Amino acid sequence: MGEFYIPQTLVDLKQKILELDWEGRKGNHPFLVTMYFDDDSYLGFTVAEEFSFVDFCPDGTPATASYLVNPNGRREEIIPVFLWTHYTEPDTTQMLPTEDVFTGIFHYLETGKFPPHMQFNQETTNELFVEKPDDEKPS
């Protein structure tokens, strides 16, 4: 199955994520990392690939699961992803470059909100968990 890791600090968690990405790239084996939080929410994302797939569930129930939306992605650009015991092939309309995803995840871990460049397929998730771009914030 996989490893279970409980970080002591946010810095430890960030270092572990980068370490997992490096290990996966070294072995050319992209995989899913899932983080579970005390409020029953979870955040899953892929590492070790040019693009990353994100699965965010704010309350732990599958009905509220949200996935990234990338309007600049291409349907013909398929990235294989190994999710626990199964395999899927999302295209890059459901993924962002991994560096952008890491930036967004680290921002979420620090603030409880994703930055504006991360948009999800469920509008409720965007309203509650994604910061508004500067040009849309009330003055």
Confirm whether 61 is domain-assigned: yes
What is the rounded distance in angstroms from the CA atom of residue 121 to the CA atom of residue 64?
10
Q: Please compute the mean of the pLDDT values over residues 10-16 and round it to a whole number.
A: 94
Confirm whether 82 is domain-assigned: yes
**What's the number of domains the chain is made of?**
1
pLDDT at residue 139 in the model: 60
Confirm whether 85 is domain-assigned: yes
Q: Are 120 and 56 in contact (CB under 8 A)?
A: yes
- 129: pLDDT strictly greater than 90: yes
Confirm whether 1 is domain-assigned: no
Q: How many CB atoms lie within 10 A of CB 72?
A: 7
Confirm whether 23 is domain-assigned: yes
What is the rounded distance in angstroms from the CA atom of residue 102 to the CA atom of residue 36?
17
Q: Please compute the mean of the pLDDT values over residues 111-119 and round it to a whole number.
A: 96
pLDDT digits (tens, 9 = 90+) for 28-78: 888 888 899 999 999 999 999 899 989 999 998 888 889 999 999 999 998
Q: Which domain holds residue 63?
A: 10-129
Confirm whether 135 is domain-assigned: no
Confirm whether 89 is domain-assigned: yes
